[in-house]
Amino acid sequence: MEQTGILLESGTNELEIVEFDVANNKFGINVIKVKEIIQPIPVIFVPHAHEHVEGIIQLRGEVLPVVDMLKVLGIKDVERSPQQKYIVAEFNKQRVVFHVDNVTQIHRISWDQIEKPSDMYQGGASQVIGVIKQNDQMILLLDFERIMLEINPDSGISVESVKKLGKRDRSDKKIVVAEDSPLLRKLLHDTLSEAGYGNVDFFENGRDAYNYLETLVKADPNKDITQHVQIIITDIEMPQMDGHHLTRKIKEHPDLAVLPVIIFSSLITDDLRHKGERVGAEDQISKPEIAELILRIDQLIL
């Protein structure tokens, strides 16, 4: 299967996921991340690579790392399926191959059908960002950004890049951030604070962020949201309400439309940038370009 185009309209709060198996367990990855699915080919061993990396392959002249999902998920002592596949993915401006047991089908669902994992079973190091109930089965939506960050920490958001901006105080400016990943919320908190933006409210999904903004408007007799919030930063992939749908709802709201919105996501590519433009985002910046995000915030609200 090769990913040649996205059929979904922008801002509908829908997504398509590729369902795949690892040791008889069902998982999902956003179709937007998937470039193609291929049969396994010989892997070249790389000395001293991360334990989750099988090695590298050459695909159409490009050298790509192969990540063993059995090892990522901590599954041991199982035999490989005869239907095993390679999922070639692209996000965070990098390409990577995920080795899975089988790829079964594609589902089109709404983000509000995806449940947030319970803290009781999620744990602090969980790689699960959502649970999808499908035909009496459960599909776990994995946090592939976190998986790659554990393999290559340098691919994540860096506080050091923000320190180069120097000492600044932006505490009079209020930022609302919608980001479902606890790890990314922590990194964004640290980097925004380092950049002088200490007045930030974080929400786990677009629905909670939107409800908060509506509450502020209803409580203000003048309906001037800019007295309370100056800018919105949102991820795209989030349970309940994604970032494109959040942006569209903000821009269609008579009292919220004045707020600038920056989409900060691993899914920002030249092929997909039009989706953010259609819902009215002021800018779209790819993770982990945090210094670029800070400078764009400065331009929009200072």
Sheet strand arrangement including 102-110: 102-110, 14-22, 25-30, 137-142, 128-134, 114-115
Give the pLDDT score at 36.
96
- Longest CA–CA separation in the chain, Å: 66
Give the pLDDT score at 30.
93
Give the pLDDT score at 217.
96
Give the pLDDT score at 128.
86
Give Cα 278 distance to the centre of its chain: 19
Give the pLDDT score at 1.
45
Cα angle, residue 291 at apex, residues 275 and 35 outer, rounded to 5°: 40
Mean local confidence (pLDDT), 82-90 = 96
Range with the poorest average pLDDT among 17-26, 133-142, 158-167, 267-276: 158-167
Give the pLDDT score at 120.
52
Give the pLDDT score at 9.
66
pLDDT at 136 exceeding the cut of 90: no
Give the pLDDT score at 122.
52
Structure tokens at 81: 């399926």
> How do residues 97-119 score in pLDDT, each as one tens digit?
999 999 999 999 999 888 887 76
pLDDT band, very low/low/confident/very high, at 278 (cuts 50, 70, 90): very high
pLDDT at 157 exceeding the cut of 60: yes
Give the pLDDT score at 125.
57
Q: Are 233 and 178 in contact (CB under 8 A)?
A: yes
pLDDT at 58 exceeding the cut of 90: yes
Mean pLDDT across the chain, nearest whole number? 90
> How do residues 227-261 score in pLDDT, each as one tens digit?
999 999 999 999 899 999 999 999 999 999 999 99
pLDDT at 6 exceeding the cut of 50: no
Structure tokens at 159: 């506080």
> How do residues 173-208 score in pLDDT, each as one tens digit?
999 999 988 888 988 999 999 999 999 999 999 999
Range with the poorest average pLDDT among 75-79, 254-258, 298-302: 75-79
Give the pLDDT score at 4.
38
pLDDT at 130 exceeding the cut of 90: no
